[in-house]
Amino acid sequence: MGWRWEPGVSVRLLSYTADGDRLVAVSSKVSLSRKSVEELLSMPEGEVELWIMETFRRMHFSPWEHSVYTFLVDGLSRVASHQLVRHRVASYTQLSHRYSEGYLRRMALEACKLTGLECPSRPVEAEGGRRGGYEAYARALGEALGLGDGELVRLAWLGYVLPPAPEHRLLDYAYEYLRATQRYYMLLAGGARREDARYLLPNALRTRIVVTMNARELIQVFLPLRTCTRAQWEIRYIAWSLWSQLVKVHPRLFRWAGPSCVFRENTLRQKPAPLEDYLEGRENFTQPRCPELVERKAIPACLKAARNIGAGEGGGSPE
């Protein structure tokens, strides 16, 4: 089929506390220093660096809660979004499949195009009204089940996340996704409400979600858990994508972040090391085993595998 694996999930940092790193340093001194707030806010850069490192080494992360980050995850599955919202120290706003068809209409319209059937761009524009539009979508999706392997998978990819898997299994996923979507639109055509029809849809259905977390939750909980090989591949992909953006805007806060093995190693050291140094072998691990009980000698390979998502799995996505 000619596949290059890509989940179709994007992560975008929408906003953040611009002076968050300085705010962490200032907050850490508020309870210890007799200086005025004005003096603390004007502390030199070297002192900011020092206090960030001190809070990290002492695991005194309450000052980190004052630096806040909002990001958009687009195209993730319901499987991944359900894992994401388990992080309770955060705020979430998610696409509602009760009020919106989300990615499904894009998939249905593409099925109309591929099968040569005439379909309205919006269901309400159909000759028979909204139900007529849904019926047209269901018919097109039914016809699409007879498409070639590549077209079938590409079509399913528009509405659903395809896991990294061998090609024959991707076809199984794609077929079931299309069949479920066809049945969904058949129910809508018959008068069912979206909130009821959606019970037929697989957890792989794409969604989007806006998330706000503070630096403490990110560095102490989210990134250690979700960049680790023990995390499911999609949430791990999201975590690594987010880390790459965080380290660009606030390197002084997030350069020491990483999977639990890196986080623990850095809190044990006199001077923490950047994540890239562990990935590239410039720094060695001293802990006898990581929090996930991987032995020291196996940690470097495990760390590299954590970032190399989907490699060697035989999966793919539309080129």
**What string of DSSP letters covers the chain?**
---------EEEEEEE-TTHHHHHHHHHHHTT--S-HHHHHT--HHHHHHHHHHHHHTT--GGGGGSEEEEEEEEEEHHHHHHHTT--SSEEEE--TTT--TTHHHHHHHHHHHHT----SSGGGSTTHHHHHHHHHHHHHHHHTTS-HHHHHHHHHHHBPPPS--HHHHHHHHHHHHHHHHHHHHHHHTT--HHHHGGGS-TTBEEEEEEEEEHHHIIIIIHHHHSSTTS-HHHHHHHHHHHHHHHHH-HHHHTT--SHHHHHHHHHSSS---HHHHHTTSS---SSB-TT--BGGGHHHHHHHHHSTTTTS------
Percent of the chain with pLDDT over 70: 93
pLDDT in tens, 235-291: 999 999 999 999 999 999 999 999 999 999 999 998 999 999 999 999 999 999 999
Residue 34 is predicted with a pLDDT of 66
Residue 33: its pLDDT value, please? 65
Task: Return the pLDDT at 319.
Answer: 39
For position 317, what pLDDT does the model report?
41
Q: How confident is the model at residue 135 (pLDDT cuts 50, 70, 90)?
A: very high
Give the percent of the chain with pLDDT over 90.
Answer: 82
The lowest-confidence range among 19-33, 73-87, 137-151, 234-248 is 19-33
Across the chain, mean pLDDT equals 92
Tell me which residues are annotated as active site: 226
pLDDT digits (tens, 9 = 90+) for 152-189: 999 999 999 999 988 889 999 999 999 999 999 999 99
State residue 311's pLDDT score.
52
Q: Is the pLDDT of residue 35 over 80?
A: no
What confidence score (pLDDT) does residue 5 get? 67
**pLDDT on residue 318:** 41
Q: Which domains does the chain have, with CATH numbers?
A: 10-94+208-307 (3.30.1360.170), 104-200 (no CATH)
pLDDT at 316: 41
User: Would the pLDDT of 38 be above 90?
Assistant: no
The answer to which of 163-172, 191-200, 211-220 has the lowest mean pLDDT is: 163-172
pLDDT confidence band for 49 (50 / 70 / 90): very high
